[in-house]
Chain A
Amino acid sequence: MTALIELNGITKVLKGQEQPRTILDGVGLSVHPGESLAIVGRSGSGKSTLLSVLGLFDRPDQGSYLLDGTEISRLPERRAAKLRSSHFGFVFQRFFLLKHLTAAQNVAMALVNGQGWLPRRQRRAKVMAALEEVGIAHLAKNRPAKMSGGEQQRVAIARALVRQPRILLADEPTGALDTETGTLVIDALQGVTARGCALILVTHDRDHAARMGRILHLNEGVLAEQKVAA
């Protein structure tokens, strides 16, 4: 099967310090549709930087990044933004919900982003479907302040899913949650692989990592496969 994502020799050097520091050192990675994988490693090992490169937040200094076989490592920002909108969903450790918006409006934020325009009715239907998918449609009119941490993270997941991305990038999404709520969040994230969306999870939690199809270990900028799920 053709890889959805293909990284080859990705290198990222942190400049602006006394000594330039290599954060990613020739990283190679293939991700297929519907696949789930976890990236683990110590703090500062480059996990978030790798996720930034994967999510087109940042450009690698060297290497190639193929998405559906197309080189995208040097895309201009305008096209990168379009790809982020159409192909990627993001979930972060901090939920980054806007406190002045309701859950539905927070989810709709990903639809009102200048990449095409949906009429209000269609927008609302998509938002409600995404909230339904993570099991919190009944909280659509609630503002973040009236929701628990787990509910807020599920709103963030609904926001990531509302455009039906092909790749979901999650950066320690359970880091601010208790174990039980974290498990529910991982359940919700794993659900997306069933429809062909690839899930890349950055986590410190071994149990959550173990639930992914593959575990990759990042150490000193070098990525290595840790185990293959049976």
Chain B
Amino acid sequence: MIRLSGRFRSALIIGLQGIRARKTRTLLSMVSLFLGVLAVVVVQAGASIAERALLADMELQRGIDGTKVMGMAPQPRVSEIIMDTVPGRDDAVAVVGVSAIIGEPGVRPVNPNASPFDEIGFYGMPMVCDATGNCREQTPAEAGPEGQAIEVRLTALTGDIRQFKPFRPKSGQWLDFGSVPSMAPRLVLNEEAAKGFERYRVPAEMRVPGASANMTPQLIGVVDDGDYQPRAYVRMDEMANWIPATKLVDPSMGEMNVLMTGDTPVEQVLTSKLKAINAEPYVELINSRKDQEKELALMRLIFLSMAGLVLLIGVAGILNVGLATVGERVEEFALRRAVGTPRALLAGIVLAETLITGLLTAALAIGVSAAALKGVVVLAGNSEPFLQGVVFPWDAGVAGVIAGLIAGVLGGFVPALRAAGIPIATVMRA
């Protein structure tokens, strides 16, 4: 058990007696301070929640912090090396993206180039390249007549990508990498692709450049992957039934990445193999928190400065009440000095009162903020995804307590000095 000094205990006892004797004044001090502390708590909580939401969105798109992303140009030989190295591993997942059209065969999709459905044409028409490498956009005539078909980015995976990108399930189920591959590739759509399937009635026929035949896909679930482009996820081995992995490449618009843990030997093996064929990969270590640190710190600083100003107004209030109270208690403080109370303890008594007031106010502000946040989560949690599972951040509570303590010290400092300076002799002649 911590043993407090006699002086500290005396300050606490007398401070609490003072608060009990002047409840209305204490309440007035708390009212003046409440908004300031509340502002600090709300800003800190808001910043923490916003930071969490921002990082959560970045995790969906880029991967969780610590993930290594090896990117390379989509080429058949590169694909061959990846398929020799990555499948079957728990610490790495290969991600190969190609274009796929689901719907009527031989028609132009309603969203060429897998444009978002609310911004059709945003990505223009698909590119065509000649033998010399010169590329240009397809004309609508070349792309065929418009029909009931949707273009998506088809993302083939060698394993469960969610260990690196924590997609949020929306409906149905995720890909089961432990089951026998199906001849009818099972697709999990992102929300944008699901929007297209809700909006357009399209036949279940999927064409992928280079496939031996059109496939009949099964739509098994929807996830939030943070992507604005319609995307469908599929097991790599289910695609292999229709198209060899080495042909599952799209040199113009495709993507080819390997996501891996930080300490896997896959990076070194792949790098060596790729260098041998002059395909230099680039590796990025995901550290979104650090990348965003400056922006987040600036945002937090701006809001905390505003909250600090509101807190200063509260401090002025507590200072005003404190000075008035000391003025009223001149005789009490002089008497306390007469019975041997040191000046430092008199200052301590006043500071104890303002600190207790600050802490009570902080507790109140934290309680109100936590209750309000819980209320918002209950009322709006279903419509606002970033609110789901949000709890009151502990650092906002700490910030509130610190704000209360700072306000207590700042508001009580001058009254404490004044109390300590009251001369006994003058008062005793009263």
Q: Which residues in window 16-37 of B have CB below 8 A to A? A: 17, 20-21
- B interface, CB within 8 angstroms of A: 5-7, 9-11, 13-14, 17, 20-21, 331-332, 335-345, 348, 423-425, 428-430
Q: Is the CB of B17 within 8 A of A100?
A: yes
Q: Mark A87-113, 1 if CB is under 8 A from B, else 0.
A: 000101010101011000100011011
CA distance A107 to B129 in the complex (A): 99
Residues of B within 8 A of A115 (CB): 6, 340-342
Residues of B within 8 A of A20 (CB): none
Q: Dominant SS at the B interface?
A: helix
CA distance A112 to B13 in the complex (A): 8
CA distance A217 to B337 in the complex (A): 28
Residues of A within 8 A of B340 (CB): 81-86, 110, 113-115, 163
Among B336, B337, B339, residue most surrounded by chain A Cβ atoms (within 10 Å): B339
CA distance A163 to B13 in the complex (A): 19
Q: Is the CB of B10 within 8 A of A52?
A: no
Nearest CB in chain B to that of A90: its residue: B338
Residues of A within 8 A of B345 (CB): 113-114
Q: Is the CB of B428 within 8 A of A98?
A: no
Q: Mark A106-129, 1 if CB is under 8 A from B, else 0.
A: 000110111111000000000000
Q: A52-B425, A84-B340 are in contact. Are A117 and B6 (CB under 8 A)?
A: yes
Residues of A within 8 A of B429 (CB): 48
Nearest CB in chain A to that of B6: its residue: A117
Among B9, B10, B337, B342, residue most surrounded by chain A Cβ atoms (within 10 Å): B342
Nearest CB in chain B to that of A100: its residue: B21
Q: Dominant SS at the A interface?
A: loop
Apart from A82-B342, A96-B331, A112-B10, list 17 A-B contacts with CB within 8 A: A48-B429, A49-B425, A52-B424, A78-B344, A81-B337, A82-B340, A83-B340, A98-B21, A100-B17, A105-B17, A109-B335, A109-B339, A113-B341, A114-B6, A114-B345, A115-B342, A163-B340
Among B5, B6, B338, residue most surrounded by chain A Cβ atoms (within 10 Å): B338
CA distance A83 to B429 in the complex (A): 21
> Which of B7, B21, B331, B424 has a CB less than 8 Å from the CB of A114?
B7
Ranked 5 nearest A-B pairs via Cβ: A85-B340, A117-B6, A100-B21, A114-B345, A114-B7
> Nearest-CB distance from A119 to chain B (Å)?
10
> Which of B7, B17, B423, B428 has a CB less than 8 Å from the CB of A101?
B17
Residues of B within 8 A of A98 (CB): 21, 332, 335
Residues of B within 8 A of A57 (CB): 337-338, 423-425, 428
Q: Does A133 contact B (CB under 8 A)?
A: no
Q: Which residues in window 148-189 of A have CB below 8 A to B? A: 159, 163, 171
> Nearest-CB distance from B330 to chain A (Å)?
11
Residues of B within 8 A of A109 (CB): 335-336, 339
CA distance A58 to B429 in the complex (A): 12
Residues of A within 8 A of B336 (CB): 109, 113
CA distance A163 to B341 in the complex (A): 13
Residues of A within 8 A of B348 (CB): 114
Residues of B within 8 A of A110 (CB): 339-340
Residues of B within 8 A of A82 (CB): 340, 342
